[in-house]
Amino acid sequence: MAVFGVDYAWGRPGAAALKRAGAKFACRYLSHDTTGKNLTKAEADELSAAGIWLVVVWESAANRALAGRGAGEDDARDAARQAAALGMPSDRPVYFAVDFDASSAQQSAINAYLDGAAAVLGRDRVGLYAGFGPVKRALDAGKAAYAWQTYAWSGGKWDLRAQLQQYSNDHTINGVGVDYDRAIKSDYGQWRVGVSPGGDDDMPDYVSVGAKAEQQLKPGEWTTVTWDTEYADSNHQHNDEGGPSVLTGPARYALTASVRVEGVPAGTRIQARAIEVDVNDTGKFEEGAVQDFASVGDETNLLYGVSADTVGEDHRVRFQVVQHGPSAAKLSAGTAKVLYWR
């Protein structure tokens, strides 16, 4: 499962533009800044009224966490005060930023900083924004209950315990620079003014499927992946005559697919896409975004994602792969997860 969201600093895309872009949440700043970086009460009210969840991160300086426990206590007190003034419920966490490539030698100072924050907020309200190394080390040590991992300084690795992933930078919504994020847990620290998530409030349904049987990939020919294993499908979205379909419309959805391709020479172009087929004629389909990859050797793992899209009534979502090597190859394994809202 993955929920699409964004983070941004001084600009303000506005709730309407964020909704058009498919963003379900916005990560915003708390700090000592006085030039417009921080989340304001008016903005919190606007986004909350539009149904967009909020997440807050404290950042006064990129390497502030190296100042240790006392700094963590001070920052947590200021963060709690600012968050309360914005209408954040007192049970929601604050992420604290380690916005640089922190080494293992610096982890003791970072952990002490998080200890200081926990002394003020309670450990269950302490989150960490950082690259793979600091996130893994802090979670291993039990220093944070929430983690927001950035792809920066992560070397392609993801700690799947982290609730949030910042996976792409330098995008624009309504003229404002934003980064793309995804929530991979149902609770990622989100809130609206006066509201904590609970029950079925705005919570999506999801489909989780796997491909265990090998599937042939002819060179230059799009192959629709068949999912032969169901992990979660409470509304029977995958159980249709087409087999490969993972969602039947109408619905708003986000798709993540991970597959392993074998037998393609290093450097070979591989592509993946989502398509939306007509229920009554699967030969008719609309092509979604195509993402390009390059084989790294005999075995290549691909991660494809659609952060926000809509499938219409009487249409189904499927996933396809094509490899442009000199001969046939195979897709040896894969998983797909679709989060959707009716």
The pLDDT tens digits of the residues spanning 154-202 come to 999 999 999 999 999 999 999 999 999 999 888 999 999 988 886 444 5
Residue-wise over 166-196: b if at least 16 C-beta within 10 A, else e?
bbeeeeebeebebbbbbbbbeebbbbbbebe
Strand, coil or helix: 300 = strand
**pLDDT tens by residue, 75-85:** 999 999 999 99
- Quote the strand ranges of 48-163, DSSP E: 53-58, 94-97, 126-130, 146-150
Token pair for residue 14? 């506005």
Per the model's pLDDT, the better-predicted residue between 159 and 240 turns out to be 159
Worst-scoring range by mean pLDDT, 166-180, 194-208, 279-293, 306-320?
Answer: 194-208
64-101 pLDDT per residue, tens = 999 999 999 999 999 999 999 999 999 999 999 999 99
Sign of CA dihedral 233, 235, 236, 242: negative
The pLDDT, as a whole number, for residue 198 is: 64
pLDDT recorded at residue 339: 86
Domains of the chain, CATH where assigned: 3-183 (3.20.20.80), 205-341 (2.60.120.40)
Per-residue pLDDT at 153 exceeds 60: yes
Which residue type sits at 162? A
Please check the confidence at residue 203 and state whether its pLDDT lies above 70: no
- Kindly indicate the confidence band of residue 298, based on its pLDDT and cuts at 50, 70 and 90: confident
The closest of 149, 168, 154 to 307, measured between CA atoms, is 168
Q: Please, which pLDDT band fits residue 7 given cuts at 50, 70 and 90?
A: very high
Contact present, 324 and 219 (Cβ < 8 Å): yes
242: pLDDT strictly greater than 60: no
Contact 245, 227 (CB under 8 A): no
Structure tokens at 154: 């992560």
User: Helix 41-49 to helix 69-86 angle, to the nearest 10 degrees?
Assistant: 60
- The answer to whether 120 and 108 are in contact (CB under 8 A) is no
Residue 192 in 3-state DSSP? strand
Write down the number of H helices and E strands in the chain: 5, 19
